[in-house]
Amino acid sequence: MIKVVKFGGSSLASAEQFTKVGNIIRDDINRRYVVPSAPGKRDAKDTKVTDMLYKCYELASAKEPGEKFIAQLEAIEDRYQQIIDGLGLKLSLAEEFKTIKENFLANAGSDYAASRGEYLNGIIMAKYLGYTFIDSAEVIKFTENGDFDSELTNQILSAKLKEHEKAVIPGFYGSYPDGKIKTFSRGGSDITGSIVARACKADVYENWTDVSGFLIADPRIIKNPEAIDTITYKELRELSYMGATVLHEDAIFPVRREGIPINIRNTNAPKDKGTWIVESTCQKSKYTITGIAGKKGFCSINIEKDMMNSEIGFGRKVLQAFEDAGISFEHMPSGIDTMTIFAHQDEFMDKEQQVVSAIHRLADPDIIEIESDLALIAVVGRGMKSTRGTAGRIFSALAHANVNVKMIDQGSSELNIIIGVANEDFETAIEAIYNIFVLARI
Ligand code: ASP
């Protein structure tokens, strides 16, 4: 059995956290491939090493990088030294930091700079565990255009992993064909973990973080929300898209190809089962809904035209106006003689009049009205398909909470119901929906 374990920044922010991680890994001999992030925040006021590195590189790129650059680099070195000392390791990163300093001054690039966070943490982790260190630059490959080269990577990485029974592969970065370092987008160590899991055909990809799984709702809105036991890739995609963050969105794809489940776990509460993210399951979720997520900051463009219903091509013309302005739309509920387009307000605002005049020109509607400061909430659950009355419960809960529903969109997959409300009703609406399904269990 092979388990790939990825640890997030907060799990590796200090020697104390490293010790917890060491215990977790030693607790199960199947935890053979380890993907570390860079040290994260030790407390709310702290700075992630990745952010320190970006800053440091900025200072190094100044016309005359001086004391500030050196001080920042020393502060980073100090973070690692504290971990090394705290773990009582015999390890010096002096040579590494000498090279890093030279490369920073030689303009090695901000991706190179940021990647050193995971690289150095990987060296410490390998030493601490007695595992082999594999530099991700050698095994995670990008094309010349900067796209992740999944097949080449899989080939190189799976061959490499076969040579080593236990290894540490730092997260977040890889290299271009010429060897130059390239990172994934922020939070990208999740992707590395998934790539490693695919390459060794792992039985499970454990993603260790600082919460006990994927929560049913945002903890900033709901106090101590319950964690989801099992969620499908599809449900996760819906929730992540609507703003729920635990796992990098792209982390799903490599494991999905091999049907490898992801288990989100909490380094600070290792006994908690966490959330299982799976391809498909016959397990019913505990509640009718699996999760709720949402985002503020949308606007709606309501378009009316008499007899719109029978005018073939009307929708296409309206969407053409959005396409020409380079604006993607989020939802498009429609009535008999009306249709509404939801778009991100900040994206739409700058091009508002351009789009409106284009709709007039292309589709000749009677009225166009714009409404701003709207929020969209997705209520997601595979259980909805087989349960009657889900929508009814949502809307009566919202009515009781005095929330006016401005839009409803239910996809034909019956996996989610999207609700539009005013920004100011956003939190109340989420609370009302959470309460009715999770607390009241009706
Ligand atoms: N250290 C990187 C970041 O802060 C990548 C990661 O942690 O996954 O975004």
DSSP codes, 115-157 = HHHHHHHHHHHHHHHTPEE--HHHHSBB-TTS-B-HHHHHHHH
Q: How many CA atoms lie within 13 A of 378 on its CB side?
A: 24
Q: What pLDDT sits at residue 383?
A: 82
**Residue 188: CB within 6 Å of ligand 1?**
yes
| Rounded-to-integer distance, Cα 154 and Cα 254, Å | 10
Is residue 429 over pLDDT 70? yes
| pLDDT band at residue 442 under the 50/70/90 scheme | low
Q: Are 110 and 41 in contact (CB under 8 A)?
A: no
Q: Are 306 and 365 in contact (CB under 8 A)?
A: no
CA–centroid distance, residue 300 to ligand 1 (Å): 34
Round the CA-based radius of gyration of the chain to a whole number and report it. Answer: 25
Q: Are 103 and 56 in contact (CB under 8 A)?
A: no
**Residue 187: CB within 6 Å of ligand 1?**
yes
Neighbours of 238 (CB within 10 A): 24
Average pLDDT over residues 193-211: 96
Average pLDDT over residues 292-306: 94
Q: Are 9 and 171 in contact (CB under 8 A)?
A: no
For the CA of 188, the closest atom of ligand 1 is 8
**Residue 50: CB within 6 Å of ligand 1?**
yes
Is residue 1 over pLDDT 70? yes
Average pLDDT over residues 87-111: 96
Average pLDDT over residues 186-203: 97
| Rounded-to-integer distance, Cα 269 and Cα 375, Å | 34
Element housing 369 (H / E): strand 367-380
Quick check: helix, strand or coil at residue 339?
strand
CA–centroid distance, residue 111 to ligand 1 (Å): 12
Q: What pLDDT sits at residue 382?
A: 87
8-state DSSP, 435 = I
**Residue 36: CB within 6 Å of ligand 1?**
no
**Residue 183: CB within 6 Å of ligand 1?**
no
Q: Which tokens go with 389?
A: 């009355």
Average pLDDT over residues 172-186: 97
**Residue 186: CB within 6 Å of ligand 1?**
yes
Q: How wide is the angle at C-alpha 112 spanned by C-alphas 177 and 33, nearest 5°?
A: 80
| Rounded-to-integer distance, Cα 177 and Cα 197, Å | 23
* Range name among 64-78, 129-143, 403-417 with the lowest pLDDT average: 403-417
Q: Which tokens go with 29?
A: 């001999």
Q: What pLDDT sits at residue 71?
A: 95
Q: What is the mean pLDDT of the chain?
A: 93
Neighbours of 207 (CB within 10 A): 28
Is residue 411 over pLDDT 80? no
For the CA of 184, the closest atom of ligand 1 is 5
Q: pLDDT for 221-249, tens place per residue?
A: 999 999 999 999 889 888 888 877 788 98
**Residue 39: CB within 6 Å of ligand 1?**
no
CA–centroid distance, residue 115 to ligand 1 (Å): 9
Q: What pLDDT sits at residue 254?
A: 94
| Rounded-to-integer distance, Cα 127 and Cα 92, Å | 11
Q: Are 121 and 39 in contact (CB under 8 A)?
A: yes
Average pLDDT over residues 242-269: 90
Residue minimizing CA distance to atom 6 of ligand 1:
187
CA–centroid distance, residue 7 to ligand 1 (Å): 10
In the chain, % helix, strand, coil (3-state, to 5) comes to: 45, 20, 35
Is residue 404 over pLDDT 90? yes
CA–centroid distance, residue 404 to ligand 1 (Å): 39
| Rounded-to-integer distance, Cα 375 and Cα 114, Å | 34
For the CA of 48, the closest atom of ligand 1 is 4
Amino acid at 274: G
C-beta contacts of 190-193 below 8 A and 24+ residues apart:
190/6, 190/247, 190/248, 190/250, 190/251, 191/148, 191/248, 191/250, 191/251, 191/254, 192/6, 192/35, 192/136, 192/140, 193/4, 193/5, 193/6, 193/35, 193/251
CA–centroid distance, residue 37 to ligand 1 (Å): 6
Q: Are 75 and 88 in contact (CB under 8 A)?
A: no
Q: What pLDDT sits at residue 328?
A: 92
For the CA of 8, the closest atom of ligand 1 is 7
- The fraction of the chain above a pLDDT of 90, given in percent, is 80
**Residue 6: CB within 6 Å of ligand 1?**
no
| Rounded-to-integer distance, Cα 261 and Cα 275, Å | 10
For the CA of 9, the closest atom of ligand 1 is 7
Average pLDDT over residues 289-312: 92
Is residue 47 over pLDDT 70? yes
**Residue 122: CB within 6 Å of ligand 1?**
no
Residue minimizing CA distance to atom 2 of ligand 1:
187
Residue minimizing CA distance to atom 8 of ligand 1:
187
Q: Pick from 34, 54, 189 the residue to mutate for probing ligand 1's pocket: most ligand atoms within 8 Å of its CB.
A: 189
Is residue 380 over pLDDT 80? yes
**Residue 261: CB within 6 Å of ligand 1?**
no
Is the dihedral angle over the CA atoms 267, 271, 277, 279 positive or is it negative? positive
* Range name among 150-154, 190-194, 215-219, 427-431 with the lowest pLDDT average: 215-219
Instruction: State the angle between helix axes of 426-434 and 390-400 in degrees (0 to 180), rounded to the nearest 10.
Output: 130
Q: Pick from 5, 6, 48, 112 the residue to mutate for probing ligand 1's pocket: most ligand atoms within 8 Å of its CB.
A: 48
